[in-house]
């Protein structure tokens, strides 16, 4: 069956700033909400400083959860460059209550292992270091006899959780799950135990996993090129800091625990929930659990300021993957005026449909491919182009073609309607993001960068206020000889330093064991979720447009988006040429428009 998909949006501009109001709920908890926010977000701040973002979505009986900690890669000290990522991994290993069959006997072993890792770290003699590691391995094997490695995931599975995991970014670490709405109390009971306490068990095996991750990334040319580009953009700031191999080979349990105690405190955390929830009941449950954590002052985090870039930085690496080049520019942070202009200019250049690079270079087949990505943090942002040349084309020629498109922006050689279309495209993207429970990602982003939710809802309007003349002025001031270029050429990779993993004795896996916490936790009752049955005959409106052509429709009550699907009962099983024909669609346009005109017209809408 051949399926065509068309997504269209009708949007209305709100020309005035969204207004934030403060209310008190039925339990006396105060919260902020933005009037006319389509997600109905409530933002609470508990007495211990914990931020809570609650949004109701009754589309299904589930809740998407984010627990955000405002600490990531840039918070790692210079002598331990991977603490945030290491801690993220170890947060799934359990606490003194779960993940263990006998904490009283396990703890002394874990304390001894911690001391040995410090001795291993300080020892300079390679032979002696190896002997210490053998002792670490011996005690770790003994300690594993008391551990239950997968108990956290087993408990989450018991309540029907999905998408359980975590990720570490530059300025935050996010713990993710999607749970049935009737298991919220069980989830909170488990998570407060995890965030209130931690046992750094199975440390040496998890460090082995991190070593393997780093070794794997070094085999990926694109990752190495991106890292070098970022280091060129940020020679002194932690945003450009790479992994120190010596530190990776000399991990510290003590440093990981210090990082957790310093940053994983309620006044530096947020709980973001979206789904089938009652905000008044939910905030009370969160206060009864996470609200009992004690706040404390945060460490100072004064990051260095980069000197202005005054000349190009040119780097070169080799590898077996196809040739490519990265072209990067550094800009101001997420709260700076740069964000609006970079958002507009990056989309004028590349928007996957009607940008200058899309039309002139990709549609014109002058290069094999190119894209533009932007990333904003608290202090800085950056814009990076990833360019792949055509066969027989040099990397230098491909870069010049992209720079020539940037020069067109500086000259104002872009359609007059483009900035408004980009603002509308941003509204469309935001509307799509906010209609699903994964909007918690946007809430966590607002928390991480201490941004008012109203400003995020108003961002498209702010984009629309900027004139083409202002864009041209900014482009001429911004785009100078202030870029970083990394040429990734074909050849033998150089400078790769991989961590050699020492021998590790396979640990004991107590698959069938169960902690006392788990036994008690399973007894927590939850109300059943009653099914709702859909009557397709009444829920779907069906009319005949003409003979053999039916239109089936369902009204979208949530927002102003509508989707249109054309279903043609003839697919690749009927005609093997159809998949090939589909690949031509981006290049052939329609009867009334050329391919370029069609892309531009669709983007305008």
Which pLDDT score is estimated for 28? Answer: 95
Q: Is the pLDDT of residue 11 over 50?
A: no
pLDDT digits (tens, 9 = 90+) for 368-402: 999 999 999 999 999 999 999 999 999 999 999 99
Which of 549, 50, 65 lies closest to 269, judged by CA? 50
pLDDT digits (tens, 9 = 90+) for 144-180: 999 999 999 999 999 999 999 999 999 999 999 999 9
pLDDT digits (tens, 9 = 90+) for 567-588: 888 888 889 999 898 888 888 8
Which pLDDT score is estimated for 79? Answer: 77
Confidence of residue 243 (pLDDT cuts 50, 70, 90): low
Q: Looking at 45-49, 240-244, 276-280, which range is the least confident one?
A: 240-244
Q: Is the pLDDT of residue 511 over 90?
A: no
Confidence of residue 497 (pLDDT cuts 50, 70, 90): confident
SS3 category, 126: helix
SS3 category, 132: helix
Residues paired with residue 67 on neighbouring β-strands, in sequence order: 175, 271
Q: Is the pLDDT of residue 10 over 50?
A: no
> Which of 528-537's residues contact partners 24+ apart within 8 Å by CB, and which partners?
528/182, 529/61, 529/180, 529/181, 529/182
Round the average pLDDT of the chain to a whole number and report it. 92
The secondary structure of residue 147, as a DSSP letter, is B
pLDDT digits (tens, 9 = 90+) for 94-108: 999 999 999 999 999
Which pLDDT score is estimated for 210? Answer: 78
38 vs 558: CA distance, rounded Å = 8
List the Cα angle 137/141/145 in 5-degree steps: 160
| pTM score of the predicted model | 0.92
Which pLDDT score is estimated for 557? Answer: 85
Q: Looking at 125-129, 249-253, 527-531, which range is the least confident one?
A: 249-253
Which pLDDT score is estimated for 6? Answer: 33
Highest mean pLDDT among 208-212, 268-272, 318-322, 534-538: 268-272
Beta carbons within 8 Å of 84's beta carbon, 6+ residues apart:
71, 72, 73, 75, 76, 168, 173, 259
Please state at what angle helix 338-349 crosses helix 418-434, rounded to 10 degrees.
100
pLDDT digits (tens, 9 = 90+) for 419-429: 999 999 999 99
Query: How, if at all, do strands 483-490 and 313-319 pair?
Result: parallel
Pair of tokens at residue 78: 């210079």
Confidence of residue 247 (pLDDT cuts 50, 70, 90): low
Provide mean pLDDT across the span 118-131.
92
Instruction: Give me the phi and psi of 254, to 5 degrees please.
Output: -60, -45
- With beta carbons less than 8 A apart as the criterion, state whether 61 and 48 touch: no
Which of 143, 89, 94 lies closest to 114, judged by CA? 143
120 vs 133: CA distance, rounded Å = 7
Which pLDDT score is estimated for 2? Answer: 35
459 vs 247: CA distance, rounded Å = 41
Q: Looking at 238-252, 263-277, 289-303, 540-554, which range is the least confident one?
A: 238-252
Pair of tokens at residue 425: 């495209």
Q: What is the DSSP string of 91-109?
A: TTS--SSSSBS-HHHHHHH
SS3 category, 562: strand
Which pLDDT score is estimated for 507? Answer: 87
Q: Is the pLDDT of residue 403 over 80?
A: yes
381 vs 237: CA distance, rounded Å = 12
Query: How, if at all, do strands 269-275 and 51-56 pair?
Result: parallel
- With beta carbons less than 8 A apart as the criterion, state whether 293 and 196 touch: yes
The residue whose two tokens read 């002598």 is 79
Confidence of residue 605 (pLDDT cuts 50, 70, 90): confident
Q: What is the DSSP string of 521-578?
A: HTT---PPPPP----HHHHSEEEEEETTEEEEE----SSSEEEEEEEES--TTT-TTH
Which pLDDT score is estimated for 382? Answer: 97
Which pLDDT score is estimated for 500? Answer: 75
pLDDT digits (tens, 9 = 90+) for 465-496: 999 999 999 999 999 999 999 999 999 988 77
Q: Looking at 207-221, 293-307, 328-342, which range is the least confident one?
A: 207-221
Confidence of residue 291 (pLDDT cuts 50, 70, 90): very high
Confidence of residue 17 (pLDDT cuts 50, 70, 90): low
Q: Is the pLDDT of residue 40 over 70?
A: yes
272 vs 176: CA distance, rounded Å = 10
| Residue-wise burial string across 318-349, b where 16 or more C-beta atoms lie within 10 A, e elsewhere | bbeeebbbbbbbbbbebeeebbbbbbbbbbbb
Residues paired with residue 387 on neighbouring β-strands, in sequence order: 325, 370
The secondary structure of residue 458, as a DSSP letter, is T
Q: Is the pLDDT of residue 211 over 90?
A: no
78 vs 35: CA distance, rounded Å = 44
Residues paired with residue 51 on neighbouring β-strands, in sequence order: 45, 270
Q: What is the DSSP string of 235-290?
A: SSSGGG----HHHHHS--HHHHHHHHHHH-SGGGEEEEEEES--HHHHHHHHHHHG
Q: Is the pLDDT of residue 7 over 70?
A: no
Which pLDDT score is estimated for 246? Answer: 64
The residue whose two tokens read 């999607």 is 178
279 vs 181: CA distance, rounded Å = 12
120 vs 582: CA distance, rounded Å = 60
Confidence of residue 218 (pLDDT cuts 50, 70, 90): confident
Percent of the chain with pLDDT over 70: 96
Beta carbons within 8 Å of 195's beta carbon, 6+ residues apart:
67, 264, 269, 290, 293
Which pLDDT score is estimated for 302? Answer: 86
What is the maximum span of the chain, computed from C-alpha positions, in angstroms? 85
Q: Is the pLDDT of residue 244 over 80?
A: no
Instruction: Give me the phi and psi of 384, to 5 degrees please.
Output: -130, 130
Q: Is the pLDDT of residue 502 over 60?
A: yes
């Amino acid at each position: 069956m051949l399926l065509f998909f068309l997504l269209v949006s009708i949007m209305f501009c709100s020309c005035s700033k969204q207004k934030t109001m403060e209310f008190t709920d039925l339990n006396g908890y105060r919260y902020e909400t933005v009037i006319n926010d389509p997600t109905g977000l409530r933002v609470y701040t508990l007495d211990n400083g914990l931020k809570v973002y609650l949004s109701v979505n009754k589309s299904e009986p589930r809740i998407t959860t984010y627990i955000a900690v405002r600490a990531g890669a840039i918070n790692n000290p210079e002598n331990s460059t991977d603490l945030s990522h290491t801690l993220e991994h170890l947060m799934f290993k359990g606490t003194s209550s779960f993940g263990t069959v006998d904490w009283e006997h396990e703890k002394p072993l874990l304390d001894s292992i911690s001391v040995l890792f410090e001795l291993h770290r300080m020892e300079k003699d390679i032979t002696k270091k190896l002997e210490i590691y053998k002792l670490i391995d011996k005690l770790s094997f003994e300690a594993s006899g008391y551990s239950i490695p997968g108990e956290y995931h087993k408990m989450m599975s018991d309540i029907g959780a999905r998408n359980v995991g975590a990720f570490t970014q530059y300025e935050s670490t996010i713990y993710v799950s999607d749970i049935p709405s009737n298991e919220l109390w069980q989830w909170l009971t488990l998570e407060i135990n995890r965030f209130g306490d931690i046992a750094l068990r199975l440390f040496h095996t998890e460090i082995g996993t991190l070593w393997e991750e780093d070794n794997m990334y070094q085999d990926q040319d694109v990752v190495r090129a991106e890292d070098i580009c970022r280091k060129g953009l940020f020679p002194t700031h932690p945003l450009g800091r790479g992994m120190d191999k010596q530190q990776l080979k000399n991990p510290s349990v003590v440093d990981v625990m210090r990082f957790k105690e310093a940053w994983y405190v309620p006044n530096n955390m947020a709980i973001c929930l979206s789904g089938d929830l009652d905000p008044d009941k939910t905030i009370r449950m969160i206060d009864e659990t996470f609200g009992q954590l004690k706040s404390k002052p945060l460490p100072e985090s004064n990051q260095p300021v980069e000197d202005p870039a005054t000349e190009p930085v040119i780097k070169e690496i080799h590898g077996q993957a196809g040739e490519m080049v990265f072209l990067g520019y550094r800009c101001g942070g997420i709260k700076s005026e740069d964000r609006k202009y970079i958002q507009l200019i990056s989309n004028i250049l590349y928007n996957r449909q009607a940008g200058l690079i899309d039309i002139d270079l990709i549609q014109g087949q002058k290069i094999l491919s190119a894209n533009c990505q932007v990333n904003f943090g608290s202090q800085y942002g950056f814009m990076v182009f990833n360019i792949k040349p055509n066969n027989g084309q040099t990397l230098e020629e491909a870069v010049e073609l992209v720079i020539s498109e940037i020069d067109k922006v500086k000259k104002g050689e872009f359609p007059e309607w483009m900035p408004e279309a980009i603002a509308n495209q941003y509204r469309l993207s935001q509307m799509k993001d906010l209609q699903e429970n994964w909007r918690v990602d946007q809430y966590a982003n607002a928390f991480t960068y201490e941004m008012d939710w109203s400003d995020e809802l108003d961002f498209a309007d702010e984009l629309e206020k900027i004139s083409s003349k202002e864009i041209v002025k900014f482009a001429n001031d911004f785009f100078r000889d202030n870029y970083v270029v990394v040429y990734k050429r074909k050849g033998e990779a150089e400078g790769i330093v991989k961590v050699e993993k020492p021998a590790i004795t396979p640990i004991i896996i107590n698959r069938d064991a169960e902690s006392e916490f788990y036994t008690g936790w399973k007894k927590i009752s939850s109300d059943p979720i009653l099914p709702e049955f859909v009557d397709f005959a009444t829920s779907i409106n069906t009319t005949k447009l003409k003979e053999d052509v039916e239109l089936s429709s369902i009204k979208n009550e949530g927002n102003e988006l509508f989707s249109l699907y054309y279903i043609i009962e003839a697919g690749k099983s009927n005609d093997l040429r159809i998949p090939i024909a589909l690949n031509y669609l981006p290049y052939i346009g329609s009867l009334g428009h050329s391919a370029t005109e069609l892309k531009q017209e669709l983007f305008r809408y």
